[in-house]
């Protein structure tokens, strides 16, 4: 089953499992967005819009998700935000180079089949000096985590990956540097990471 198909069926119950458990981490991550000015912000993997309540209203947002059913559920969120919703693939973004000031990747990098492509695409559409805000679950380099790796064999086909090592993904994307890396949930399995793109 493809992710697009599986998330079509997951959409109605997605918030039940993730809204309360991830809200504090989302708020903390998005607090890094300036409260003034007007930036172009990409929400890659916007899902049902669980990030929307924590977004400063001053910016212009593009919310992208692979699944129309997820985006449809986001329509009840966002209020007065200046937002465009786009159905598309986070590994092949339908945007020009250097279109955004910030890219938000919350619970998407460890979901897509090719996280290195997702990160590379985020970097491509970022302006020089732009930032990526990550919130996701990652294994540490050298971490055994046999149970997670074993479960990954089954769950990666319909929901999410459990075996992504962030440092290995980052190595495939030259021109990006980590600004901060903080534990978020589950004893540090989930992390809040801020990345900056080098100036041209």
What are the Cα distances from residue 155, in Å, to 122, 123, 149? 25, 27, 10
In this prediction, residues 126-145 reach a mean pLDDT of 86
Residue 60 pLDDT > 50: yes
Q: 93: helix, coil or strand?
A: coil
Q: Which residue has the higher pLDDT, 62 or 19?
A: 62
| Band of pLDDT at residue 140, cut at 50, 70 and 90 | confident
The pLDDT tens digits for 144-175 are 655 655 554 555 544 566 678 899 999 999 99
pLDDT of 5 over the 60 cut:
no
**Superfamily of 3-197 according to CATH:** Vaccinia Virus protein VP39 (3.40.50.150)
Per-residue three-class SS string for 19-39: HHHHHHHHHHHHCCCCCCCCC
Nearest residue to 18 (alpha-carbon basis) of 41, 49, 43, 61:
49
Name which residue leads in pLDDT, 193 or 111: 193
At residue 146, the pLDDT reads 53
Is the pLDDT at 15 greater than 70? The verdict is: no
Domain boundaries, the chain: 3-197
Query: What does the pLDDT read at residue 164?
Result: 80
- Whether the CB-CB separation of 195 and 171 falls below 8 Å is answered with no
CA distance 38 to 57: 9
Confidence of residue 19 (pLDDT cuts 50, 70, 90): confident
Q: Is the pLDDT of residue 9 over 60?
A: no
pLDDT at 51 over 70: yes
Cα separation, 101 vs 41, in Å, equals 6
Q: Which of 57, 38, 31, 45 has the alpha carbon at shortest distance from 194?
A: 31
d(C-alpha 130, C-alpha 195), whole Å:
8
Average pLDDT across the chain, whole number:
86
Over residues 20-35, the pLDDT tens digits come to: 888 999 999 999 999 9
């Amino acid at each position: 089953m493809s992710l697009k198909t599986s998330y079509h069926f997951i959409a109605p119950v997605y918030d039940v499992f993730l809204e309360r458990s991830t809200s504090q981490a989302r708020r903390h991550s998005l607090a890094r967005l300036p409260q003034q000015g007007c930036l172009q912000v990409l929400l890659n993997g916007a899902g049902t819009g669980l990030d929307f309540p924590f977004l400063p209203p001053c910016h212009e947002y593009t919310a992208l998700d692979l699944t129309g059913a997820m985006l449809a559920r986001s329509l009840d969120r966002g209020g007065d935000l200046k937002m465009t919703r786009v159905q598309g693939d986070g590994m092949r973004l339908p945007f020009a180079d250097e279109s955004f000031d910030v890219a938000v990747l919350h619970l998407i990098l460890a979901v897509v089949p090719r996280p290195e492509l997702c990160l590379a695409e985020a970097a491509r559409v970022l302006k020089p000096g732009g930032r990526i805000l990550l919130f996701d679950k990652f294994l540490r380099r050298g971490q055994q985590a046999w149970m997670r790796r074993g479960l990954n064999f089954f769950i990666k086909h319909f929901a999410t990956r459990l075996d992504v090592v962030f440092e290995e993904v980052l190595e495939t994307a030259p021109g990006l540097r980590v600004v901060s890396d903080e534990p978020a949930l589950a004893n540090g399995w989930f992390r809040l990471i801020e990345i900056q793109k080098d100036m041209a």
